Amino acid sequence: MTVQLDQPDFQRLTRIVQNLPDFANVRDRRRLVAGALEGVPQADVILARLDLDGTAMGVSVEVVRFLSQFGQVAYGKEALSVFLNYIQPFTGDEDSDFILELFQKYPLDVPATPDRLIDRWRGTSSVADVQEKIIGEDTLRHIYILNLALEAAKAVVHLRVPREGGRQGAGTGFMIAPDLLMTNNHVIASREQAEQTEYTFNYELDINGKECDIQTTQALPGGAFHTNAELDYTVVSLKDLPPFGSPLILKSKQVRRDDRVAIIQHPGGHLKKISMQNNFVAYADVNVVQYTTNTLPGSSGSPVFDDEFKVVAIHHSGGDLTEPSTGRRYLRNAGTSMIAVLKDLQTNAPEIYALLPR
């Protein structure tokens, strides 16, 4: 399958690409394309066939045309969509919005066979000739995905939050920089509350089903703090941190209906778990992501991951929710898109935004 951009969209997209800061010379262009295609099995093939030598204008036309015609690099993922998701955070607001509009206008992230019914077979037409089959959705994944999940889990943190009347509330948070944690605004709404909260790492079972040794820390007094009640997220600095691997990568990515999203969380305020079954996106725009991935009270503030275990949303609620586009109500869980979160951080907390890993 290829993506046929109309002429105005093609021309504008090539202008955006040629004006990227990492598009000045052959070496930077190669690094840019390689970064966009990291983890894609056909990356070496694409890089070998792309001619990146020439003027920025000419090469941008070559890149957009080639990726548009290459087809899918993963189930439901066009080569052009992977590239656009990668460059979108590096563009200005108008260009960023234009790229998001392209995902609405063209089948960039649409599976060739989106129907999940299990009676849809892919194989030879004769049942007698078929011994193994893809039944409905192709759920085969590379084994490294399990390693990505385990690494990501190290950065997910249990929160014990003081409430009125001496009660204790529970939530989940996740590390987004070496000393910065993100959770919901309705979990931590103020600096004072942040400084009274306990942040516990490694509250989970080990490979033998035994509880791991936990490490608990606190907020850094007077450290970085930013909260947004409308988007329902908070960022706070922690002190005396235990080793937790790498911070999670926040991805300004427009997810689509029928994408899968996994959530690593502390459901019920208990031991860390992952929900990665029955986990389809039901609705998404630049602010809201709704999904069927399971959560419980205590999961608020959890990271919502795409298939590469990059964070595409922060979970905040569930129940009988209104779908923004139709006004209809559905039983779903929901979070705030990282598109909106990152835009808010860039505008209103640039000192925090500058610390985020890219």
pLDDT one digit per residue (tens) for the chain, 358 residues: 578 899 999 999 999 999 998 888 998 899 899 888 887 888 888 988 898 999 999 999 999 999 998 888 876 678 898 899 889 888 888 898 899 889 888 888 654 334 444 444 445 445 444 445 555 566 778 899 999 999 999 999 999 998 877 788 999 999 999 999 999 999 999 999 999 999 999 999 999 999 999 999 999 999 999 999 999 999 999 999 999 999 999 999 999 998 999 999 999 999 999 998 889 999 999 999 999 999 999 999 999 999 999 999 999 999 989 999 889 999 899 999 999 999 999 999 999 999 999 8
The secondary structure of residue 49, as a DSSP letter, is H
Burial class (CB in 10 A: 0-12, 13-18, 19+), 238: buried
Buried b (16+ CB within 10 A) or exposed e, 170-184: bbbbbbbbebbbbbb
Q: Which of 196, 227, 244 is the last residue of a domain?
A: 244
What pLDDT does 119 receive? 45
Q: Is residue 141 part of a domain?
A: no
Residues 13 and 99 in one domain: yes
Kindly list the distances between the CA atom of residue 156 and the CA atoms of 7, 202, 277, in Å, as whole numbers in the listed order.
45, 8, 19
pTM over 0.95: no
Task: Tell me if 89 sits within 8 A of 342, measured CB to CB.
Answer: yes
The domain boundary, picked from 192, 225, 244, lies at 244
Q: What is the total count of domains within the chain?
A: 2
294 domain-assigned: no
Could you tell me if residue 169 is inside a domain? yes
**E strand or H helix that includes residue 236:** strand 233-237
Q: Are 15 and 100 contained in the same domain?
A: yes
The whole-number pLDDT of residue 118 equals: 43
Tell me whether strands 215-217 and 273-275 are parallel, antiparallel or unpaired. unpaired
Residue after which a domain boundary falls, among 105, 122, 141: 105
Q: Please give the Cα distance from 244 to 324 (Å, whole number).
A: 37
Q: Encode 49-62: b = buried (16+ Cβ within 10 Å), e = exposed.
A: ebebeeebeebbbb
97 and 19, same structural domain? Answer: yes
Helical H runs in 106-248?
144-153, 191-196
Question: What is the extent of the structural domain holding 184?
Answer: 158-244
3-class secondary-structure state, position 252: coil
Residues 97 and 163 in one domain: no
In whole angstroms, what is the distance from residue 174 CA to residue 301 CA?
A: 8
Is 290 within a domain?
no
Distance CA 214, CA 191 (A): 24
Give the DSSP letter of residue 254. Answer: -
Residues 78, 164 within the same domain: no
